[in-house]
Chains A and B, each alone.
Chain A
Amino acid sequence: MCPANAQGIESSSSGSLDHVVGSANDFLTIYIAGQLFGIPVLQVQDVLGDLKVSRIPLAPPEVDGSLNLRGRIVTSINVRRCLGLGERESGKSMMSVVVEHEGELYSLTIDEVGDVLALKEDSYEKNPVTLDAKWRGVSLGIYRLDEELLIVLDVPKLINDLRI
Chain B
Amino acid sequence: MTSLPPPSARKLGLVIDLDTCVGCHACVISCKGWNTENYGAPLSDMDAYGASPEGTFLNRVHTFEVARDSAPPMVVHFPKSCLHCDNAPCVTVCPTGASYKRAEDGIVLVNESACIGCGLCAWACPYGAREMDSAAKVMKKCTLCVDRIYNDTLPEEDRTPACVRTCPAGARHFGDLGDPDSDVSQLVAARGGFDLMPEQGTAPVNKYLPPRGRDTLEIPDLASLCAPAPQAAPNAQPTGLLGWLDRALERL
Q: Do A and B bind each other?
A: no
A residues in contact (CB < 8 Å) with B: none
B residues in contact (CB < 8 Å) with A: none
